[in-house]
Amino acid sequence: MSFDAIPYYPISRFYKERFGHKVYKISVAVADTCPNREGLRGMQTCNFCDQWGSAAYAQNLEKPLSEQIEAVRDILRAKRGAEKFLVYFQAYTSTFSKVSRLREQIELALSYKDVVGVVIGTRPDCVSAAFLELCSEMTARTFVAVEMGLQSFDNEILKFMRRGHTAEQSVAALEKIAGACPEVNLGIHLIFGSPGETDEMARETAERCNALPIHNVKLHHLHVLKNTPLAEQYACGEFVPLEREAYFQRCMIFLQHLRRDIAVHRLSALSPRWDELVAPAWSSYKMETYQGMLKYMKDNNAFQGQMSVR
């Protein structure tokens, strides 16, 4: 694999290899809650999560699925000339409610001729037998990706984030999906920058990823959004976000140790609403952050998998 242009394996390249052309994700919201927000087993809202459950298009939350798909598709067509799409069931936890409902929603998404597959967001404690059955059935017909928000492999950090699950549960859930539905394209979301985390832990995280049956990762720095528990922790000095260079360093170390065949969705977090970001300020400059990260890796002659033994 060549890293001439960019020093990592971007998901856009994976999509091109898989579909033979560019595909764009249409982010939709079919769920309006999750185990944390429901307070199951004494759980609490994750400390970084905003009131929209990370939905990309909060204004679409109330709309029927067909309207959401068409609205975002029109934007992507107009802005980027997009022709083929994956419908991404993103906000909150899409697998928390009845699987029969999710099945109908997937069928609706696939009824659009230019939709070439679906991406389903979930979390480690929402992988039921019925969901696995649905995945198996759907993979026989179309491309199915599952993105699991597991955020960290460190149980202290998971407690700090109030995730309500352990690293062991995350690994078990991934292995369960891969075992039952080997055709599923499996990804995980990670967040770097919690208190107590070190560069060495970024290396260990990559090694944990390398041993897992996953195909892609999505990287975020821990940023503070308005009206979140983390905003309160930030206000009273309990949480200090990483400086830009410190994040670049951690992200670079992670990528250097990550298997080369694991595609990478994005390199940093993005606040879906421009006025929602509290800190760090550098986070609001999306392109500068991305370009800065690429330059940082180039200056360090770094590329994905350079130090991976797999």
Assess 36 for contact with ligand SF4 (CB under 6 A): yes
221 in Cβ contact with 191 (< 8 Å): yes
Q: Are 183 and 144 in contact (CB under 8 A)?
A: yes
- Is the CB of 25 or the CB of 189 nearer to ligand SF4? 189
- How far is CA 162 from each of CA 48, 151, 187, 191, rounded to the nearest angstrom? 9, 11, 21, 13
152 touches ligand SF4 by CB under 6 A: no
Max Cα-Cα span within the chain: 51
Among 25, 73, 123, 259, binds ligand SF4 (CB under 6 A): 123
Please identify, among the stretches 29-37, 172-180, 193-201, 217-225, the one whose residues bind ligand SF4 according to the rule CB under 6 A: 29-37
Binding segment (CB under 6 A) for ligand SF4, from list 1-9, 49-57, 245-253, 281-289: 49-57
Write out the binding residues for ligand SF4, residues 161-190 only, by CB under 6 A: none
Alpha helices in 81-194 (DSSP H): 99-110, 129-139, 155-161, 167-180
Q: Which H or E element spans position 290?
A: helix 286-299
Q: Pick from 182, 21, 188: which is nearest to 114 by CA? A: 21
Helices (H) and strands (E) in the chain, counts: 10, 9
Count of alpha carbons within 13 angstroms of residue 33, beta-carbon side: 10
Compute the least distance from the CB of residue 23 to ligand SF4, in Å: 24
When asked if residue 120 is in the footprint of ligand SF4 (CB under 6 A), the reply is no
- Pick the stretch among 42-50, 108-116, 209-217, 283-291 that binds ligand SF4 (CB under 6 A): 42-50
Neighbours of 101 (CB within 10 A): 12
Q: Among the candidate windows 48-56, 196-204, 261-269, 276-284, which touches ligand SF4 by CB under 6 A?
A: 48-56
Rounded Cα gap, residues 227 and 153, in angstroms: 26
Kindly tell me which of 37 and 215 has the beta carbon lying closer to ligand SF4: 37
Q: Is residue 73 within the footprint of ligand SF4 (CB under 6 A)?
A: no
Q: Which of 268, 266, 253 is nearest to 305 (CA)?
A: 253
Backbone angles phi, psi at 36, to 5 degrees: -65, -45
Residues 281-300 that bind ligand SF4 (CB under 6 A): none
In the complex with ligand SF4, which residue's Cβ is closer, 233 or 300?
Answer: 233
Residue from 11, 27, 28, 37 binding ligand SF4 (CB under 6 A): 37
Shortest distance, position 46 Cβ to ligand SF4, whole Å: 3
Using the rule CB under 6 A, is 117 a contact of ligand SF4? no
| Under rule CB under 6 A, residue 160 binds ligand SF4 | no
Q: What is the CA radius of gyration of the chain?
A: 18
To ligand SF4, the closest distance from the beta carbon of 96 in angstroms equals 9
Question: Among residues 4, 8, 13, 56, which one has the least CA distance to residue 267?
Answer: 8
| 218 is a contact residue toward ligand SF4 (CB under 6 A) | no
Please state the closest distance from residue 141 (CB atom) to ligand SF4, in A.
28
Q: Which stretch binds ligand SF4 (CB under 6 A): 30-38, 177-185, 268-276, 301-309?
A: 30-38
Instruction: Please tell me whether residue 224 binds ligand SF4 under the rule CB under 6 A.
Output: no
Q: How many whole angstroms separate alpha carbon 173 and alpha carbon 189?
A: 14
Residues that bind ligand SF4 (CB under 6 A): 34, 36-37, 45-46, 49, 53-54, 92-93, 123, 149
